[in-house]
Chain A
Amino acid sequence: MSRTDLQTLPERAVELLGGEPDDTTLRRYLHGLAGVDAVGLEQRAAGLGTRSIKTTSKAWALDKIIGLMDLTTLEGADTPGKVRSLVAKGLKPDAADPTCPRVAAVCVYGDMVPHAVAALGAAHGDPDDGLVSVAAVATAFPSGRASLEVKLADTADAVAAGADEIDMVIDRGAFLAGHYGLVFDQIARVKQACRREDGTYASLKVILETGELNTYDNVKRASWLAILAGGDFIKTSTGKVQPAATLPVTLMMLEVVRDWHRATGEKIGVKPAGGIRTSKDAIKYLVTVAETVGEEWLQPHLFRYGASSLLNDVLLQRQKLRTGAYSGADYVTID
């Protein structure tokens, strides 16, 4: 790693690591983190999953879930028409209910960003202002098997097209081979590629692909690595690998975020993605966030759901709360 790159690194990372972020230093640091007991972690997650969220709390939770959602389409068959349809759904999820909140962002492949931006028009912007962001997957998503140059170009391209958020994948191969320095370097460089002409940065979500990292210890180390290297969000999965998001793995990543906040005062976001399909499951995540890092994390810049089919189930539950009766799949729109 060159000196210029080091200067761009957040100083706190070098300070925390006690040296340059090479393989040796990172290994010493990441392997010095407290271990994770899988049985205990899963037990705690199951416990959080038993919270009973009813009536007013449930109504609030359902709206919150929609407002924290990255409505996603990541298919090889995506077309501009499909993206326009997705955007329309994200802006007005329930055709019958104008009080239904918008989603936080739409998440598409890099080449679809211009179409998403165009479709959003004036509604494109910060979800904190009631607008909808555009997130783009980049860096040779989902496998990440490409040269760094390609990954950087992929990223810069999406940012230039107007993406507000970049969902990058880490090089799992390098991570599993112990080349932590390489993974760190790539994340830091992609972060640089998120820089816009005006000097601001697109938000960087780092996808760990927890299903390929396999152990909770690995996920914990990868989470710290991603945050140290400058990720704004840590995200569980691409959705292309099983298992994708699970409650225990999300809980553990939230614990890392909590500990990072404790150590530096910085707030990092978490995005579980893939496999969350029902309101019931989504509420469990909401509970887990609130009881692990606190309620202030329940905002679009600190927590997101990456999902495609979840939205309709949430809408059905919303209708049920409002009318007292269950409707059916034909009472919500297909994307």
Chain B
Amino acid sequence: MSFLEYAPAPESRSILNLRDGYGLFIDGDFVEGTGKSFTTISPADESHIATISAASEADVDRAVTAARRAYDRTWSKMSGRDRGKYLFRIARLVQERARELAVAESLDNGKPIKESRDVDVPLVAAWFFYYAGWADKLDYAGLGASPRALGVAGQVIPWNFPLLMLAWKIAPALAAGNTVVLKPAETTPLSALVFAEILQQADLPPGVVNILTGAGETGAALVSHPDVDKVAFTGSTAVGRAIAKEVAGSGKKLTLELGGKAANIVFDDAPIDQAIEGIVNGIFFNQGHVCCAGSRLLVQENVHDEVIDRLKQRLSTLRLGDPLDKNTDIGAINSREQLDRIRALSDIGEEEGAERWSADCVIPDSGFWFAPTIFTNVQTSHRIAREEIFGPVLSVLTFRTPAEAIEKANNTPYGLSAGIWTDKGSRILAVADRLRAGVVWANTFNRFDPSSPFGGYKESGYGREGGRHGLAAYLAPGSSAPRPRQTALAAGATASASQPPSRTPRAAKKGRASASRGSGAEPQKGAKR
């Protein structure tokens, strides 16, 4: 027997009180959606988990109306200290139910339980604790005295960190005094619905947070709803671009956290064993489903062979398999669609002449799996060096001098994150200074903290999440006028008369905006971003 074939150590699923079906969480209650319901499956074995309601445009309107009502009647009138109490309560409940949340997350998303248990869920709690502390200190957020909340925030989050992205969105929004309508990704609604139960348990006033499950159309209906004051989106650059177009001129405040193709730069004086760990953590953490993943390894040419050799040896010790096994390092790819994309881009990499190497691991028969893969001999002009693969695939490029490393690292339409590995402190500072990336890690990678702002340059989006900067995305200076709401309320009234939140009011508003532009006046506040 081989010791390294550790006996199975599965986390128990029984802790998760799974229901057969989940409705939409609107106004403090689970209600049936009027859209076509769908099922969520486990990507590890394609087994059915639960039936999930989909929110139609009418449901979206119902949720936004509830959020607006909660904002007007309760949340905007509550003191910061009381809002903070709710957030602290949520944070503590997340800790109490941490194991359950971790199981839900790994089951639905496919990520290894050791990551959901040790990274995702503790960070979720940390995020709520952190912003709970801010709730009564908004005067010190850097926006002058008495900054005001924006109103109703429409938030759309991705499938890679379902619960963590929820926390990144909800915690600052509530701390700042906004109410929320959030849509989790279609393939990973489960942890958000368990979180909704936590909100009930915390006795959060109804309507302050509403959670709508559904596909892309639900998200589109949410961001285009006229009574939403703020849109926050994390996801692909293509969808982000569409949202930016959609909300342009509407006066809605927008933050986008989009794709990335981060450079992880390894200099020849790097602490080699830790750098190898950092490379592994950079691209194989969460199966590479990380927008800030270190997917481009830039390694100094004189240590290239040694680094690759050590990296391959390290990768062969990674354990791919059941996400709920506590010893699993690499879980399942989240969906067939994503797996197809990873396969397609990897094939392109080979066609382009890069050398492909995959760790030798047994791939389970069912479910969506992709072995950790390295491409060497990748050139800057290859597609795998430019496009976000969003999977466990590393593209290795070389450089000769620090100047070349910086040039290559910045030569991307993205700019979300970067990593620097060197023993020389002055080099860390000098290189970090010239990298156009929102987050630069030095001698580490993929580390997150609620007090540290996160966000991108260029096609990686705009706005920051986390820290004091993250609050600014949900606040406006106290002296500024709120976004006009007459038309929005009218739209709400129309929709309640069983019409979808019709295009007319928005069209009218657009017309007005262009008219004011025509008359030489400043465009609406939305342009202030």
User: What is A's interface to B at a CB cutoff of 8 Å?
Assistant: 34-37, 39-41, 43-44, 50-58, 60-61, 64, 252, 255, 286, 290-291, 295, 298
Contacts and interface: CB of A to CB of B under 8 A. Distances in A.
A50 B326 contact: yes
B274 A37 contact: yes
A286 B273 contact: no
B136 interface: no
A147 B139 CA distance: 69
Interface string B1-22: 1111111110000000000000
Contacts of A36: 271, 273-274
A44 B274 contact: yes
Given A52-B326, A61-B3, A290-B4, 5 more contacts: A43-B444, A50-B114, A55-B7, A57-B5, A286-B3
B9 A53 contact: yes
Contact of A56 (B1, B271, B317): B1
A113 B423 CA distance: 46
Contacts of A60: 1, 3
Contact of B3 (A37, A39, A40, A298): A298
B269 A35 contact: yes
Contacts, number: 74
Provide the main secondary structure of the chain A interface. Answer: helix
B46 interface: no
Contacts of B327: 51-52
B453 to A, nearest CB: 21
Interface residues of B, number: 26
Contact of B273 (A52, A255, A290): A255
Closest 7 CB pairs of A and B: A40-B274, A52-B9, A52-B326, A37-B271, A37-B274, A35-B423, A34-B272
A64 B6 contact: no
Nearest to A39: B444
Contacts of B4: 290-291, 295
Nearest to A298: B3
B50 to A, nearest CB: 27
B82 interface: no
B326 A35 contact: no
Interface in B300-339: 317, 326-327
A39 B277 CA distance: 11
B278 interface: yes
B9 A43 contact: no
A295 B269 contact: no
A73 B5 CA distance: 35
A44 B277 contact: yes
B418 to A, nearest CB: 17
Nearest to B318: A291
28 contacts: A34-B271, A34-B423, A35-B271, A35-B423, A37-B271, A37-B274, A40-B275, A40-B278, A40-B443, A41-B273, A41-B274, A44-B273, A44-B277, A50-B118, A51-B327, A53-B6, A53-B7, A54-B8, A54-B9, A56-B1, A56-B7, A57-B5, A57-B6, A61-B3, A252-B273, A290-B3, A290-B4, A295-B4
A255 B274 CA distance: 11
A298 B317 CA distance: 16
Given A34-B269, A34-B270, A34-B272, A40 B277 contact: yes
Given A50-B114, A53-B9, A290-B3, A43 B269 contact: no
Contacts of A50: 114, 118, 326
A285 to B, nearest CB: 12
A195 B523 CA distance: 90
Nearest to A32: B269
Contacts of A252: 273
A40 B6 contact: no
B283 to A, nearest CB: 16
Nearest to B424: A35
A295 B2 contact: yes
A115 to B, nearest CB: 35
A53 B8 CA distance: 8
Contacts of B3: 57, 60-61, 64, 286, 290, 295, 298
Contacts of B1: 56, 60
Contacts of A54: 6-9
Interface in B175-218: none
Contacts of B271: 34-37, 40
A55 B274 CA distance: 32
B448 to A, nearest CB: 14
Interface in B428-476: 443-444
A252 B271 CA distance: 12
Contact of A40 (B5, B7, B8, B444): B444
Nearest to A56: B7
Contact of A39 (B9, B272, B317, B443): B443
Nearest to B442: A37
Name the residue in B6, B9, B444 with the highest tally of chain A Cβ atoms < 10 Å from its Cβ: B6
A260 B149 CA distance: 61
A217 to B, nearest CB: 9
Contacts of A290: 3-4
Contacts of B326: 50-52
A44 to B, nearest CB: 5
A52 B6 contact: yes
Contacts of A40: 271, 273-275, 277-278, 443-444
Contacts of B270: 34
A64 B4 CA distance: 13
